[in-house]
């Protein structure tokens, strides 16, 4: 008998807190989770596992960040307005994040005062924050709504198509079965490939554009960062498209995909 066992990552929600989001460039509501590594049998794990770390997920841009839960005064059981969570979970955030909040104020009021090194670091940062999310997404095949519908469509093609062919032209039944199998597989493959583009267009590019827009990066600055990502073998570099297109998206008012 073959037994499936091993280790898997398990998450346990601890609650909600307020913190600074470097993508949204301000205070936001975050979901706080404990991340553990637990043994499993047939993917069913018992307990919360050995501690790996703690993860924050911004409830606006959905970006994940690592954190130390010890910095929070408490955890809220339910999400609440950010100012309320600041008071109850992170009342000294203005002191802890004073330098970064002051920098964000400079970006809003005097973006021309930023040095070249400051601009380079600030433009580079959201790429590096979002890159692991892209790497995880492209490391395996994910089934979104359209891939699921294509699987259903492929099954219908392979069941109904040959049956109709057999009723109309019985001599072509075997050939039609092969044809509909090929069509069904092609439909699924097409949607699997398209799902990766949908992921970038819905979950990465709007978030990246939102974060970069206050900096008004030039195409040359974006090209420099994307070239660096390519040298470091980040998948994001090849999935974003051209720096010219990205510069246009950053300049345009892009709505966040929710």
The reply to whether 21 and 83 lie within a common domain is yes
Number of domains in the chain: 2
Q: Which residues of the chain have pLDDT under 50?
A: 1, 4, 41-43, 254-258
For residue 133, tell me if it sits in a domain: no
- pTM of the shown model: 0.72
Residues 107 and 12 in one domain: yes
Q: What range defines the domain where residue 71 resides?
A: 5-113
Does residue 123 fall inside a structural domain? no
Query: 113-137 pLDDT, tens per residue?
Result: 999 999 999 999 999 999 988 888 8
Taking only the tens place, the pLDDT of each residue in 43-85 is 455 566 677 899 999 999 999 999 999 999 999 999 999 999 9
Residue 139 contacts residue 59 (beta carbons within 8 Å)? no
Cβ(94)–Cβ(87) under 8 Å? no
Are residues 67 and 159 located together in one domain of the fold?
no
Domain presence at residue 213: yes
Residue 106 domain-assigned (yes or no):
yes
Contact at 8 Å (CB) between 209 and 254?
yes
Residue 174 lies in a domain: yes
* Whether residue 89 is found in the same domain as residue 13: yes
| pLDDT value, residue 141 | 66
Sign of CA dihedral 95, 96, 97, 102: positive
Q: Is residue 144 part of a domain?
A: yes
């Amino acid at each position: 008998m073959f037994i499936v066992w091993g280790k898997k990552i398990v998450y346990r929600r601890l609650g909600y807190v307020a913190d600074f989001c470097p993508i949204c460039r301000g205070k936001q509501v975050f979901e706080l989770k404990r991340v553990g590594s637990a043994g499993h049998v047939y993917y069913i794990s018992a307990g919360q596992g050995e501690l790996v770390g703690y993860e924050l997920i911004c409830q606006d841009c959905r970006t994940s960040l690592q954190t130390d839960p010890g910095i929070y005064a408490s955890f809220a059981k339910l999400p609440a307005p950010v100012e309320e969570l600041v008071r109850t979970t992170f009342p000294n955030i203005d002191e802890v994040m004073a330098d970064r909040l002051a920098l964000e104020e400079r970006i809003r009021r005097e973006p021309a005062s930023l040095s070249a090194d400051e601009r380079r670091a600030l433009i580079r940062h959201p790429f590096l924050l979002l890159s692991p999310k892209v790497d995880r997404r492209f490391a395996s095949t994910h089934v979104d709504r359209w891939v699921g519908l294509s699987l259903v469509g492929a099954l219908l093609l392979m069941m109904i198509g040959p049956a109709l062919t057999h009723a109309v032209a019985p001599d072509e039944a075997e050939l039609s079965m092969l044809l509909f199998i090929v069509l069904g597989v092609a439909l699924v493959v097409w949607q699997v490939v398209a799902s990766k583009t949908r992921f970038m267009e819905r979950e990465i590019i709007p978030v990246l554009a939102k974060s970069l827009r206050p900096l008004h990066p030039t195409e040359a600055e974006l090209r420099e960062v994307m070239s660096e990502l390519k040298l470091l073998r980040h998948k994001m570099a090849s999935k974003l498209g051209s720096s010219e297109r990205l510069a246009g998206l950053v300049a345009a008012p892009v709505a966040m995909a929710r």
